[in-house]
Amino acid sequence: MDRIIQSPGKYIQGADVLTRLGDYLKPMADRWLVVGDKFVLGFAEATLRNSLEAAALGCEIAPFGGECSQNEIDRLRDIAKRAECSAVLGIGGGKTLDTAKALAHFMGLPVAIAPTIASTDAPCSALSVIYTDAGEFDRYLMLPHNPNLVIVDTKIVAGAPSRLLAAGIGDAMATWFEARACSRSGATTMAGGKCTQAALALAELCYNTLTEEAEKAMLAAEKHVVTPALERIVEANTYLSGVGFESGGLAAAHAIHNGLTAIPDAHHYYHGEKVAFGTLTQLVLENAPQEELETVAALCYAVGLPITLAGLDIEEDIPAKMRIVAEAACAEGETIHNMPDDVTADQVYAALLVADQFGQQCLHNWE
């Protein structure tokens, strides 16, 4: 099988980078449809307009309706057509960005993506998750290309609640372990080929960055200021993890996350918070060294990520619930089957209980 790595065409990150946005967008198109979170437009619209105007770019600003659904995409498509836009900029959180990516794809236009939080590794990827108007999962839309440009203003990211950065750290923490598993098994990644050396190296750099910088970055996020550590974590959460998961591959941690969504208990937790516990469970499943388990658990604990089931508000009927989670994690087509050995629901059930026990023991020692 061929080896493949894919990534956004250009990645730009810095404090106040939005004030320079027009210069970066200018080579791509003259008239932009800006799909923005209403909340974000509330404080960033004037900066956006000024920056685009200074670069002599036209723009039509369309506040995002709130759901990444086909109806919303069609609505924005009409606006873009009427305003004769030749490119799309998405600014805001995950659903806004997914909508901008899907819209640009359906219109055959270039797309720039400006995440305002660093809570997942989705912005850089060639994937949109489409929901119904009521907010239920509809389908994955695999895009032929990654975004042409991803631009992250770290001052805006630092202004968001710190728990969102921690969630991004949880999502990024899985990247190295899942890519490592895929490289051992020779699994096909989301990029449609085997993992390259480059993707594996980015995934490992992602993990090393987290162990070195995450705690320092959280201090900055709590004070809503930009420091070198915060810059490094935003890059790890967004770019290293983004390219790392897409071209390095997903394995047990994300499948266990998906399994956890099969019970209602943890619905109100962020993606990365559930992925963190999924990572701990994957390490138990693959019998990782004790030292690695301890490093991951300590890092989660330090940044406020859950390391027990109770930490995800799963407190009653645990055996029955974990049976459901384990079965769902092992469903056909799940990425858990990218692990080097065959994985059964029984094994996942055991790993879930042991990961929880391990997390409880850590908390007992540390608190």
Q: Name the active-site residue from 74, 257, 267, 342.
A: 257
Interface with Zn ion: number of residues (CB under 5 A): 1
Nearer to Zn ion, 51 or 175 (CB): 175
> In whole angstroms, how close is the CB of 66 to Zn ion at the nearest point?
22
Is 239 annotated in a binding site? The answer is no
**Does 334 engage in binding with Zn ion (CB under 5 A)?**
no
**Backbone Cα Rg of the chain:** 20
- Which segment (3-11, 93-101, 169-177, 329-337) binds Zn ion by CB under 5 A? 169-177
Report how far residue 234's alpha carbon sits from residue 151's, in angstroms, rounded to the nearest whole number: 11
Q: What is the DSSP string of 325-342?
A: HHHHHTSTT-GGGGSSS-
> In whole angstroms, how close is the CB of 250 to Zn ion at the nearest point?
8
Q: Which of 271, 272, 281, 279 is nearest to 322 (CA)?
A: 281
Nearer to Zn ion, 44 or 355 (CB): 355
**Does 171 engage in binding with Zn ion (CB under 5 A)?**
yes
**Does 246 engage in binding with Zn ion (CB under 5 A)?**
no
DSSP strand pairing (87-92 vs 137-142): unpaired
Q: Which of 164, 19, 173, 149 is nearest to 97 (CA)?
A: 149
Is 121 annotated in a binding site? The answer is yes
Q: Name the active-site residue from 37, 153, 171, 356.
A: 171
> In whole angstroms, how close is the CB of 95 to Zn ion at the nearest point?
15
Nearer to Zn ion, 92 or 242 (CB): 242
Nearer to Zn ion, 70 or 188 (CB): 188
Is 265 annotated in a binding site? The answer is no
Q: Name the active-site residue from 37, 105, 153, 254.
A: 254
Is 138 annotated in a binding site? The answer is no
Q: Which residue is nearest to Zn ion (CB)?
A: 171
> In whole angstroms, how close is the CB of 166 to Zn ion at the nearest point?
14
CB atoms within 10 A of CB 50: 14
Q: What are the backbone dihedrals phi and psi of residue 92, each rounded to the nearest 5 degrees, phi first?
A: 145, -145
> In whole angstroms, how close is the CB of 264 to Zn ion at the nearest point?
20
User: What is the contact mask toward Zn ion in residues 61 to 80, using x (rule: CB under 5 A)?
Assistant: --------------------
- Which segment (166-174, 205-213, 283-291, 323-331) binds Zn ion by CB under 5 A? 166-174
Is 117 annotated in a binding site? The answer is yes
Nearer to Zn ion, 110 or 168 (CB): 168
Is 125 annotated in a binding site? The answer is yes
Name the residue type at position 277: F
| CA of residue 178 relative to chain centroid, distance | 14
Report how far residue 122's alpha carbon sits from residue 142's, in angstroms, rounded to the nearest whole number: 12
> In whole angstroms, how close is the CB of 282 to Zn ion at the nearest point?
13
Q: What are the backbone dihedrals phi and psi of residue 298, each rounded to the nearest 5 degrees, phi first?
A: -65, -40
Is 118 annotated in a binding site? The answer is yes
Q: Is the distance from CB of 306 to CB of 169 less than 8 angstroms? A: no
**271 catalytic per annotation:** yes
> In whole angstroms, how close is the CB of 140 to Zn ion at the nearest point?
13
- Which segment (101-109, 170-178, 280-288, 307-315) binds Zn ion by CB under 5 A? 170-178
**257 catalytic per annotation:** yes
3-state secondary structure of 123: coil
Q: Is the distance from CB of 25 to CB of 12 less than 8 angstroms? A: no
Is 183 annotated in a binding site? The answer is no
Is 33 annotated in a binding site? The answer is no
Nearer to Zn ion, 171 or 356 (CB): 171
Q: What is the DSSP string of 166-235?
A: HHHHHHHHHHHHHHHHHHHHT---TTSSBPPHHHHHHHHHHHHHHHHHHHHHHHHHHHT---HHHHHHHH
Name the residue type at position 157: V
Nearer to Zn ion, 274 or 321 (CB): 274
The angle subtended at Cα 115 by Cα 114 and Cα 119, nearest 5°, is: 165
Report how far residue 132's alpha carbon sits from residue 149's, in angstroms, rounded to the nearest whole number: 27
Under the rule (CB under 5 A), what is the footprint of Zn ion? Answer: 171
Binding residue ranges for NAD(+): 94-98, 116-119, 125, 127, 131
The residues that are catalytic are 171, 254, 257, 271
